Amino acid sequence: AAVAMTDRAGRLICANDAFKTMFGGFAAPPGLPLDEAGVEALGRAARAAWRDGRGVAERLRAGPRILAAAVTRSGEEGDVLVWRFTADGEHDLAETVATLLDDEHGDRLGEAGIMAALMSSD
């Protein structure tokens, strides 16, 4: 996945090489080379992430590619957005596992005496 981090002011803090390859450089989301609808969708996803902790934008058109973006508020003070871009329709296993562990499925595992942990670099 292409991953980038932005601060509260919308400045790009860092991004991986996949992000550079996918977008032809290091522009800060939502100002990526997408069509107007895609830029607007990323803006809505960013606002949702600041408000709710998470936002999603799907069916983003970047040239011939169709992408999806998951935006998560992160950082010790909740002052960073983490942007994950994948080809729309690709399955993000880490995101699925995190979602499952954070709801009733994770509760059932705990009740059965099974401990699970999902760690990331942050």
DSSP 31: S
Q: Are 74 and 67 in contact (CB under 8 A)?
A: no
Q: Residues 93-111: pLDDT tens digits?
A: 666 677 777 778 888 888 8
What is the average per-residue pLDDT within 65-89? 91
Dig out the tokens for 75 from the structure. 């950082």
CA–CA dist 25, 27 (Å, integer): 6
The model carries a pTM of 0.72
Question: Residue 5 above 70 pLDDT?
Answer: yes
Confidence tier at 32 by pLDDT (50, 70, 90): very high
Q: Are 26 and 15 in contact (CB under 8 A)?
A: yes
pLDDT reported for residue 57: 96
Q: Residues 49-76: pLDDT tens digits?
A: 999 999 999 999 887 788 999 999 998 8
